[in-house]
């Protein structure tokens, strides 16, 4: 009798990565407010697990804000290798709900840089109470750059994902950096009714005071207090100039759905 190798058994367990798996993986990361961070404790090398508040950069890279007083900050400064677990349990068996482990490298963001300004804005849109301490000298933003990921979509739904399955790349990503801030402010100030429709009709979120917290090439993120939801575009965009037409089309779609439900 020939026994299967460990590598063969692992391959048999994993499903082929498809668009549905990629969408689920991105959804888990994009909509997470908190996550479990695992790093290696300096000196002992023992795994150190902490809860961290989470946001994402425009390309989908998870970001955290940490203080030098935190044990996990010392850990990722000493060894940038760390992992992030995203995915909240719901009713019933907690192991039946989707979750994703991201294998990442922590990269500290230089204060005063354009990257820092962008991450600060996107982070505070997700966690407004952090404005009380975000500019303290001992706090820093870190991008947790994804190396690979392990997705568990439920029983029998295991996937191994690569960086490109989760993170957007290309010149068209950077073209959104300076443009996004004004678009988000404009939608919240002048089109709050449309934002509410996006959340409550397209994302089927409960009624609340929804605000846009971020835009990217693949969709829009919205927040209302501790609630987070996301609406995906039918197809990724390559040009910021296409966003206005996309948002108008989403609003029309939402109004049509709302009309049919009434």
Question: Mind listing the pLDDT tens digit for each residue in 19-67?
Answer: 999 999 999 999 999 999 999 999 999 999 999 999 999 999 999 999 9
- Give residue 129's Cα distance to chain centre: 19
* pLDDT tens-digit map of 117-159: 999 999 999 999 999 999 999 999 999 999 999 999 988 889 9
* Residues whose CB falls within 8 Å of the CB of residue 103, separated by 6 or more in sequence, listed in order: 83, 146, 147, 148, 149, 150
* Residues whose CB falls within 8 Å of the CB of residue 216, separated by 6 or more in sequence, listed in order: 58, 59, 60, 168, 176, 180
For each of the domains in the chain, give its residue range(s) and CATH number, in order of start: 1-167 (2.30.110.10), 168-262 (3.20.180.10)
User: What is the per-residue pLDDT for 149?
Assistant: 98
Half-sphere exposure of residue 95: CA atoms within 13 angstroms, side-chain side = 3
- pTM above threshold 0.85: yes
User: What is the per-residue pLDDT for 26?
Assistant: 97
Mean pLDDT over the full length of the chain: 92
- Between CA 48 and CA 229 the distance in angstroms is 30
User: What is the per-residue pLDDT for 177?
Assistant: 85
User: What is the per-residue pLDDT for 170?
Assistant: 81
pLDDT top residue among 6 and 199: 199
Categorize the per-residue pLDDT at 11 as very low, low, confident or very high, splitting at 50, 70 and 90: low
User: What is the per-residue pLDDT for 10?
Assistant: 58
Torsions phi, psi of 111, nearest 5?
-65, 135
- Note whether 96 and 88 are within 8 A (CB): no
User: What is the per-residue pLDDT for 66?
Assistant: 97
- Note whether 86 and 25 are within 8 A (CB): no
């Amino acid at each position: 009798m020939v026994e299967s190798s460990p590598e063969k058994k692992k391959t048999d367990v994993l499903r082929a990565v498809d668009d549905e798996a990629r969408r689920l993986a991105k959804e888990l990361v994009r909509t997470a407010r908190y996550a479990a961070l695992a790093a290696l404790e300096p000196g002992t090398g023992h795994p150190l697990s902490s809860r961290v508040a989470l946001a994402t950069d425009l390309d989908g890279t998870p970001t955290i804000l940490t203080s030098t007083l935190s044990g996990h900050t010392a850990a990722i400064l000493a060894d940038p290798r760390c992992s992030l677990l995203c995915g909240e349990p719901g009713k019933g068996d907690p192991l039946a709900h989707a979750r994703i482990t991201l294998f990442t490298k922590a990269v500290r963001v230089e204060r005063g840089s354009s990257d820092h300004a962008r991450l600060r804005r996107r982070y505070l849109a997700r966690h407004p109470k952090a404005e009380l301490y975000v500019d303290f000298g001992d706090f820093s933003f870190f991008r947790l750059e994804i190396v690979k990921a392990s997705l568990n979509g439920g029983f029998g739904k295991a996937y191994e994902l690569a960086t490109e399955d989760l993170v957007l790349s290309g010149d068209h990503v950077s073209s959104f950096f300076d443009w996004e801030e004004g678009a988000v402010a404009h939608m919240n100030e002048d089109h709050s009714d449309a934002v509410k429709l996006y959340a409550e009709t397209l994302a089927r979120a409960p009624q609340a005071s929804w605000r846009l917290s971020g835009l990217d090439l693949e969709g829009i993120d919205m927040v209302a207090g501790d609630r987070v939801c996301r609406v995906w575009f039918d197809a990724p965009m390559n040009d910021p100039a296409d966003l206005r037409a996309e948002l108008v089309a989403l609003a029309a779609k939402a109004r049509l759905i709302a009309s049919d439900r009434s």
